């Protein structure tokens, strides 16, 4: 650990892709702020990072709450230092066919994915602009290309691609890149919940998805964390406004 250690913020870091990304960025040398709705839920992530010799703090914030995001980012800056990496990962599902989708299903998904990425990116950009350096990575999805039962989620994940491309144009002159990763099927509690909702055993669900994926396996959170690690690295400074599909195939 040094005074010049770079600081990364990962939202939705209590579990799944966010937890794996927090651990990967810590292994890459970042001091990591693991943000989730409830700080206590990030205890395992922070403990795993500490056990591996890294530095991390847990921060509680709802990414869709403007004041909470501003407070959380200021706390990170005071505690660890100015953030130079943001991973917009926090997410929720409210799947339903269009005719059954409620206003709340729509608004919740838009709030967490789109408004959350907007609020977190706006809060960190001032630190990044001051440093003339930054890396913003947002989680899109293959669902951005359209997915039955996910009109809300697909719209949000497609929206994040337009958001990312726009940030890359606005923030590029300040040494800040903005990119998206678009995972396919990744084994997490989110996909386990989807299997439960459609009434399919999770192992069978995974086997079916693996069979239709060119690399013949499902994804792991570490697969996504690896791509994020690259986009968060200093060497990726000429890669911006891009969407990298991490899907075991070319669905992009």
Nearest CB to ligand NAP, comparing residues 165 and 222? 222
CB of 141 to ligand NAP, least distance (A): 3
Where b means 16+ CB within 10 Å and e means fewer, 133-164 reads bbbbbbbbbbbbeeeebbbbbbbbbbbbbebb
CB of 232 to ligand NAP, least distance (A): 15
Nearest CB to ligand NAP, comparing residues 129 and 210? 210
Nearest CB to ligand NAP, comparing residues 134 and 183? 183
How far apart CA 56 and CA 251 sit, in angstroms, is 34
Query: β-strands 83-88, 134-139: how paired?
Result: parallel
Query: Which parts of this chain interact with ligand NAP (CB under 6 A)?
Result: 11-12, 14-18, 36-38, 41, 62-64, 89-92, 112, 116, 139, 141, 183, 185-186, 188-191
Residue nearest to ligand NAP (CB): 16
- Tokens 């056990």 identify what position? 51
> Sign (positive/negative) of CA torsion 142, 148, 150, 152?
positive
Backbone angles phi, psi at 182, to 5 degrees: -120, 90
Is 81 in contact with 55 (CB distance < 8 Å)?
A: no
How far apart CA 16 and CA 194 sit, in angstroms, is 14
Nearest CB to ligand NAP, comparing residues 91 and 149? 91
CA angle, corner 29, sides to 24 and 31, nearest 5? 90
Could you give the residue numbers annotated as active site?
153
CB of 173 to ligand NAP, least distance (A): 28
Where b means 16+ CB within 10 Å and e means fewer, 16-32 reads bbbbbbbbbbbebebbb
CB of 108 to ligand NAP, least distance (A): 9
Question: Could you write out the DSSP letters of every residue in 122-187?
Answer: HHHHHHHHHHT-EEEEEE--GGGG--TTBHHHHHHHHHHHHHHHHHHHHHGGGTEEEEEEEE-SB-
CB of 117 to ligand NAP, least distance (A): 9
CB of 244 to ligand NAP, least distance (A): 12
Nearest CB to ligand NAP, comparing residues 38 and 102? 38
Nearest CB to ligand NAP, comparing residues 96 and 131? 96
């Amino acid at each position: 650990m040094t005074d010049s250690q770079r600081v990364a913020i990962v939202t939705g870091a209590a579990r799944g892709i966010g937890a794996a990304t927090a651990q990967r960025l810590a292994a890459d040398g970042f001091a990591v702020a693991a943000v989730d709705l409830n700080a206590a839920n990030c205890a395992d992530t922070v403990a795993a990072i500490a056990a591996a010799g890294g530095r991390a703090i847990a921060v509680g914030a709802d990414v869709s709450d403007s004041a909470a995001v501003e407070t959380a980012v200021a706390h990170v800056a005071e505690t660890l230092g100015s953030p130079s990496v943001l991973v917009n990962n926090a997410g929720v599902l409210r799947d339903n066919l269009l005719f059954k989708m409620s206003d709340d299903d729509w608004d919740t998904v838009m709030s967490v994915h789109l408004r959350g990425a907007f609020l977190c990116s706006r809060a960190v950009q001032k630190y990044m602009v001051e440093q003339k350096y930054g890396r913003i990575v947002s989680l899109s999805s293959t669902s951005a290309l359209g997915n039955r039962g996910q009109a809300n989620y697909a719209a949000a994940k497609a929206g994040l691609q337009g958001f990312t491309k726009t940030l890359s144009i606005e923030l590029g002159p300040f040494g800040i890149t903005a990119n998206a990763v678009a995972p396919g099927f990744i084994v997490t509690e989110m996909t386990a919940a989807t299997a439960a909702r459609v009434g399919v055993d999770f192992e069978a669900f995974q086997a079916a998805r693996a069979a239709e994926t060119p690399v013949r396996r499902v994804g792991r959170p570490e697969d996504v964390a690896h791509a994020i690690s690259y986009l968060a690295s200093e060497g990726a400074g000429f890669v911006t406004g891009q969407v990298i599909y991490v899907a075991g195939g070319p669905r992009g």
